[in-house]
Amino acid sequence: MLLPMLSDTYRRYKQDGEDIATWLVTTAKQVGYTADPLTYKGPTQNVKTKRLKGKARMNARKDAVPDAGSGSKPATDATPKYSLHRTFDTTDHGVLRSARNATAAAEEGHAYFLGILQKVRDVLRPLCEQSHAVAEYSTSYKNPNTSLDNIFAALTVEEPIEAFSNAPDVTSPTRHEDQVSIRYEVEPFDDRLESYLAIGAILRDCSKIRDALKHIWRSYAQGATSLAAAAGTTDTAIQMVQSLEDQFVKDHPYHSDTVIARHVFLVVQYLLRGQDVAARIRDLDPTNLTFYDLVESCYMSAYSIVGQFSKRLNEKKSLVKYKPGLYGVFDPSKDREAMSATEKFDEDRLLLLELLPDIGFLQLANRDGDLKATDALTRGVGLLKEPNSHTMTLDFSAQVHLDIQYCLRGKSSMGFADLREFALNAKASLQQNLQFHERLRVDSWPKKNDKALEVIMGLIEYWLEDDAVGVVKSHSMIRGGLPAELAPEKFTFFCNHPWLCGSLLLGIKLDMQKLGIDFLNAWDSAKTTAQIYNAVRKEKLLSKAWPDMDAALKLYGELAIFSGSRPDVVLARLISMAPDIKLLLARCLDADPKLDSRAVLSHKRQRIYTTPEALATICRSLFSEDLALTFDHFQFHRSCWRILCAIKDANAEELERVYGSAYLRTENKLPLVVGYILMTAVQTTKIGGLLLPKKENVASSQMLRQAASAIESMIDSGMGGLGIKTFREEYGSEVEQKVEEMDGNGDQAVQVS
């Protein structure tokens, strides 16, 4: 299944084949052939041509054109009986144009075939549709202004005659073939050359995806993007590769996978370089490692390493254990570019065979399946015991893991540091929240709902505090005879797997956000506090801004805050659910206007993205959503609840005088205080059924002023900026805010922080 919004090499390869097939079928129909060769009976009459002899034969030979190229040129300017469709000519022209931009090395290898293509195009040029003929490239530059002058120099302007002016409008005829567009697909057939070209196109697409992912992970290492965005984009890229592999198997049903095709491609490439792939630098090497970059780009090195692990896994029918240092020790200070081919392979094998067994220990520790937000590599390795589970996608995932290690080069533990920091902060906030409302409940959030919060706290403690993977691995290796002092250090697995850390971080953030929004809506704290804050700001009663509330309005928008709806982080949630890749890309790239009502009016022709462009766009979108996912909703709720308590205490006497002592029966009805204060400020005696009516019909802004004073005191204490402080100090992020503050004269001034 190829993705319609992406322009990759394999897609263009198939598109060109379908263009040529469509042209061949439609042209054959035009000249009288049937589309089904089984029903074609041949010409009705066999007309024997008279053979020339003697002088007549000699004269005919003299009149004959010496070559096919010149013989194809018509003697007159008459239109050919059958014309070549523009799609065929455009495809041929695109190949030649790409060849002109190729490097000298590539040109040398394809010179013979390019010459043939050039000759074919010249032969077929007279048959091209004149209205769509492709102009020749010229090495000499022509001034466009001069060209226009020459074109119109011979024209004269004349007044139209009366008969022409009064003539009725004439509609130009439309070609039938343009009205009815029928496309034909090439049926799958067992052809080695076609398989070679197809896998070459797929490997080229995979190489582009790898380059894009390398750039993203280097950006993460430099702090230009977040861990969750990098990991989420990487998981999306794996789905792209999976779609390419599935399409290859569909187009080549005689191939159960891509292993043979990749091996044949590698063999041919070695032969073109004058090498034998069966030769070995070392006896135990899986293949000829002389051109290791080529072996790596075919994912045959990853295939051999993962295959070695898979073989032992299925032979032992149990966990595979590798002694520490069996294949050496990884030295991140070494320059990989200066390594030999065998040194690169040894380093790849070391990194993979240290990680793959640990994934087995992760599965053993995750027997209950509580840990769901894992990365594509971890999921793929977990399925290796199933038949036909060793795919090119798994080899690609293993190679991506190696690329991440080399991009971070000694800093791979920064992924676990980011994950653990957020997770521990989240656990602390949940604990404070449970203590904060230990004796206070609302009907919309019964005590059983706290179970969801306790589950998250338990997962964080089990995986990221107790190191469940390390405990299971240590016990297993000690039972196998390894001395206890040689047991692995704590959190070694997570430090070696930043991709998994990013996927887990994205999952925790999504869970925290979902529960946080539900909690805020159940207690009605943020919405009512936002309303009173908005009122005192509009009435110019508050001279200072509330940083956390302004940040919430900035991240979610006023509509989301006041209505209690969920903020727009659809992309992150889609990636966490591993949906259809088409839906994911359509949501991110706005390829389907039906998914976004705002895009309907502005929707034009769907843009086609290159794969690197699509991945960069997805990463930026995830990074923009990351701040909303990091926001601590539970801490924000506690601040809002404290503000409501302060506002109630400041207006207690006035509220009892206007509404009676029963205006607030229990503390869990605290958000109703905002409604009473706002009703006091207007000429209304009753609003809705929840609020008691006024005892006397008075309208005063005194309570509103006291509410503003309570909010200002909270801001001065620093409690109103705890969320922004956490962003800045814990995560190194800044939330740009554009707020209105009043100066000493009561005038509004715009301040950006």
Quick: pLDDT tens for 186-200: 676 678 888 898 899
Helix (H, G, I), strand (E, B) or coil at 442: strand
Considering 136, 169, 204, which residue would you say is the last residue of a domain? 136
Please give the pLDDT value at position 597: 37
Is 605 within a domain?
no
As for how many domains the chain has, the answer is 2
Is 339 within a domain?
yes
Q: Which residues of the chain have pLDDT under 50?
A: 44, 46-47, 67-79, 81-82, 88, 99, 101-103, 105-106, 109, 131-152, 170-180, 566, 578-579, 591-605, 739-753
Please give the pLDDT value at position 640: 93
Would you say how long the chain is, in residues?
753
- The whole-angstrom separation of Cα 742 and Cα 549 is 17
Of the CA atoms within 13 Å of residue 547, those in its CB half-sphere come to 21
Is 363 within a domain?
yes
Please give the pLDDT value at position 534: 87
Q: What are phi and psi of 79, to 5 degrees?
A: -70, 135
Residue 481, phi-psi category: left (phi > 0), alpha (psi -120 to 50), beta (remainder): left
**Other CB atoms closer than 10 Å to residue 163's CB: what's the count?**
7
Please give the pLDDT value at position 166: 60
Is 514 within a domain?
no
- The whole-angstrom separation of Cα 600 and Cα 603 is 5
Is 585 within a domain?
no
What is the tens place of the pLDDT at every residue in 542-591?
989 999 999 888 877 766 666 555 455 555 555 555 445 555 556 555 54
Is 493 within a domain?
no
Considering 411, 426, 443, which residue would you say is the last residue of a domain? 411
Is 691 within a domain?
no
Is 306 within a domain?
yes
For 113, the domain range is 1-33+80-136
Please give the pLDDT value at position 600: 36
- Among 213, 392, 241, 409, which Cα is nearest to 306's? 392
- Give ∠ CA 291-295-300 in degrees, rounded to 5: 155
Considering 136, 151, 173, which residue would you say is the last residue of a domain? 136
- The whole-angstrom separation of Cα 532 and Cα 534 is 5
Can you give the pTM of this predicted structure?
A: 0.76
List, in order, residues 6 or more apart from 678 with CB less than 8 Å away.
531, 532, 535, 704
